[in-house]
């Protein structure tokens, strides 16, 4: 009589073990899902750019994406229509909690506050980026009252 009882206990123990493992995996999956939602919900602070070119009124643009390319190419996020600007001139990128600017090996170079860029540099509100003869003023206050892209 003890043989059938031991068999039933083994089956119950096996079912309990599988139930525990299933519950544990479900909890881990829920945690991973919540973490993914938090990462997706993380906001990139907006960057406002005021573009000043010769013979044109200043144009304001606001971006809330992690990377903004500047250049003459129509595929650039901020198209600068000036012959002194390279096709893909500069890149603004948000990482490590800050906005950065870097030159993309442009012909006429990129300047930040009248100093030529040789490596990526951190941007602050009030900075002036110069691509060829085009000046771009930076505002990082996150105000998105202007045209969003």
Contact of 52 with 147, CB cutoff 8 Å = no
Tens of pLDDT along 38-91?
776 667 888 999 998 877 788 899 998 889 999 999 999 999 888 899 999 999
Render pLDDT for 110-133 as a digit per residue (tens, 0 to 9): 999 999 999 999 999 999 999 989
Other Cβ atoms within 10 Å of 68 Cβ, number: 21
What pTM, to 2 d.p., does this model score? 0.66
């Amino acid at each position: 009589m003890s043989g059938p009882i031991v068999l039933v206990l083994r089956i119950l123990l096996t079912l309990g073990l599988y139930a525990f493992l299933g519950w544990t995996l479900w909890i881990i999956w829920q945690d991973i899902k919540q973490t993914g939602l938090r990462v997706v919900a993380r906001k990139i602070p907006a960057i406002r750019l005021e573009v000043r070119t010769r013979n044109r009124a200043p144009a304001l643009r606001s971006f809330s994406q992690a990377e903004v390319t500047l250049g003459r190419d129509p595929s650039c996020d901020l198209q600068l229509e000036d012959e002194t600007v390279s096709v893909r001139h500069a890149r603004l990128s948000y990482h490590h909690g800050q906005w950065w600017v870097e030159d993309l090996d442009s012909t006429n170079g990129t300047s930040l506050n009248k100093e030529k860029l040789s490596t990526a540099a951190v941007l602050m509100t009030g900075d002036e980026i110069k691509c060829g003869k085009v000046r771009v003023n930076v505002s990082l206050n996150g105000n998105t009252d202007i045209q969003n892209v």
